[in-house]
Structure 1
Amino acid sequence: MAKRNKIMSEEILDQFKYEIAEQLGIKNKIETQGWANMTSYECGKIGGKIGGAMVKVMIRNAEKYLMENGKL
């Protein structure tokens, strides 16, 4: 069960990173060039946004997941 929760957490975090990248206008670059070709500045902008609002969004996503799966 712990392994499943870790995988779910990683998927949610990845989804959140792409949401932030879309807001910053760099999602297309990530999808076409990959994370390895992003500048540290671009990755830092994503990380900064995640750190600022991550808990709120992670809770919202977890609640949504639990409601959709009948566990809340």
Structure 2
Amino acid sequence: MGKKKEKEIDLNNLKPEEELKYEIASELGYLDKVMTNGWKSLTAKESGRIGGLMTKRNRELKKQQTQEGKTES
């Protein structure tokens, strides 16, 4: 079996979920590492930190949208 070829990362053409992931990686200082070596180069701790922050932000966004919906009614 050969190695999978890594896809080129186009930061201008990302899904919203991916955009959030890259944004958090950038804030934590991991973006350079990801861009040069891919996501597999991150440690479990680094990946977990990104995933945790993504979950937290998604929860906050959902809560905010719920509150906005209640005030509009």
Q: TM-score, normalised by structure 2?
A: 0.60
Instruction: Structure 1 unaligned segments of length 5 or more: list them.
Output: 1-9, 61-72
Q: Which has the larger radius of gyration?
A: 2
Q: TM-score, normalised by structure 1?
A: 0.60
Structure number with higher helix proportion = 1
How many residue pairs match? The answer is: 50
CA offset digits 1:7-39 (Å, max 9, x no partner): xxx811111000000110111100011011111
- RMSD over aligned Cα, in angstroms? 2.3
Q: Which of 48, 51, 56 does residue 52 from structure 1 map onto?
A: 56
2:27 aligns with: 23
- Relative contact order (C-alpha < 8 Å, sep 6+): which is higher? 1
Runs of 4 or more consecutive aligned structure 1 residues displaced over 2 Å after TM superposition: none
Matched residue SS, 1:21: helix
Instruction: Structure 2 unaligned segments of length 5 or more: list them.
Output: 1-13, 66-73
Percentage identity across paired residues of the two chains: 34
